[in-house]
Amino acid sequence: QVHPVESGGGLVQAEGSLRLSCAASGGTFSNYGVAWFRQAPGKQREFGACISWSGGSTTYADSVKGRFTISRDNNKKTVYLQMNSLKPEDTAVYYCAAGTCMSGAQAALYPYWGQGTQVTVSS
């Protein structure tokens, strides 16, 4: 098992940037694809991006494509989400999930989840 822990959230103005980190303990982190999801109040959990175990393949939701970049450093057992040009509608709790990117946007198929980090974008 791996235990993801998110960090890096906070309050930022619109058009600003944040970088989220997902650090893992336990297990072999480099064996897993890692995705970022987000959930705004009153809304369903939404897929944002996924990176394969090697970092060689990435996928993005249309809502974040061109603004967010997912990357990983397996030596540090950490996955990053660089978020640029943030919008108020990006406000949500952001979660990282370990599994396989073949699961796509199906949150239930990712077995390992962090507790989330709050991102708030003010207008």
**HSE-up (13 A, CA, CB side) for residue 27:** 16
Does 11 score more than 90 pLDDT?
yes
Q: How far is the C-alpha of 53 from the C-alpha of 74, rounded, in Å?
A: 9
Residue-wise pLDDT for 78-122, tens only, equals: 999 999 999 999 999 999 999 999 999 999 999 999 999 999 999
User: Residue 26 has what pLDDT?
Assistant: 81
